Amino acid sequence: MTATPDDTLHDLVARAIRAPSSHNTQPWIFCLGGEAVELHADRRRALPVNDPEDRELTISCGCALMNLRVAAAAAGLAARTTLLPDADDPDWLARLETAPGPGPEAHLGDLDPAIDERRTWRKRFADTPVPRDAVDDLKGAAAAEGAWLEVLADGDERERAAALVAEGDHRQWDDPRWRRELAAWMHPRRAGDGLAVPGLAAPLAHAVVRRFDMGGGVAARDGQLAEASPLLAVLGTREDGPGQWLRAGQGLQHLLLKARQHGLQASYLNQPLQVAELRPRLRELVGRDGQPQILLRLGVADTDLPASPRRPLDAVLESAD
């Protein structure tokens, strides 16, 4: 393939890092070389209590990879993606090779504007139903990346999912290690990562989260959010493991960008997946073969939100050896 200019590759990475990640950890490193961009896991930004197997870390990197593919298509480049290129290097998650001219994924370029519009909406959504054609598009986006999306439409399913979310909240907040890890990622916006809190309030927020079990109040709120969501759905894959987690991340980001085209935003209620004992119960609730990876809710947000902070581009870029 003909070498792609470094400035263009930098631009692609600048789009990739707009992807969502757990606690906004941004656990990725990009290495540039010739016509290719390599995606590596940055395990220094892992969450060993919340995500002991680095499952969500890998899903987050999959989201960034999807953005990279979309940006390449929008730039008029053909792209070829290889997952887990080196079995001896588990940190090397993917390699994207580019060439001039449109490729088989040129249609993904239509999603590029949604990269800047996507937000994580943590409040209650407007009482606006999600149209059937939007649901079909979301399912198609997940399927295109080797994942599946199962909608929890039945009232009993929603109640059971909400109960799992609430139980997960109680278990997590009861764990001092989990609270300390959460507090460690609560940063002033100027830090460029983490869960942004006002600078003057950060010390108080850290102290409260570290010292007090607020699981009861959080569980009640999250349970209500789950039951009241216009669309509550589970994203999953056929199997588990790093390759499937990367597919889950690409499927998640693909459907998030597609959701923006339908005027929707999303947020996550992943407690039943983060607490290992609850994950089989969510799988049973979904009632299909495979492994649930993400529990998300989607709907119409009634106000705009600022973008979450991001680290500078040079903090996530390295030269390939």
Query: Pick from 310, 300, 309, 270: which is nearest to 121 by CA?
Result: 300
The CA-based angle 96-50-155, given to 5 degrees, is: 95
Q: Enter the DSSP assignment of 125.
A: P
Q: pLDDT (tens digit, 9 = 90+) per residue, 21-47? A: 999 999 999 999 888 999 999 999 999
pLDDT at 198 over 60: no
Query: Pick from 251, 52, 81: which is nearest to 149 by CA?
Result: 251
Distance of CA 44 to the CA centre of its chain: 18
User: In whole angstroms, what is the distance from residue 132 CA to residue 106 CA?
Assistant: 26
The pLDDT assigned to 228 comes to: 85
Identify whether the C-beta of residue 223 lies closer than 8 Å to the C-beta of residue 167.
Answer: no
Per the listing, tokens 């109640």 go with 159
Q: pLDDT (tens digit, 9 = 90+) per residue, 231-272? A: 999 999 999 999 999 999 999 999 999 999 999 999 999 999
Q: pLDDT (tens digit, 9 = 90+) per residue, 80-103? A: 999 999 999 999 999 999 999 999
pLDDT at 273 over 90: yes
Sheet of 317-319: strand order equals 77-83, 92-100, 36-41, 28-33, 317-319
User: In whole angstroms, what is the distance from residue 134 CA to residue 117 CA?
Assistant: 17
277-294 b/e (C-beta count within 10 Å ≥ 16 → b)? ebbebbbebbeeebbbbb
Identify whether the C-beta of residue 202 lies closer than 8 Å to the C-beta of residue 190.
Answer: no
- Residue 132 makes CB contacts below 8 A (sequence gap 6+) with none
Query: Pick from 38, 42, 16, 18: which is nearest to 28 by CA?
Result: 42
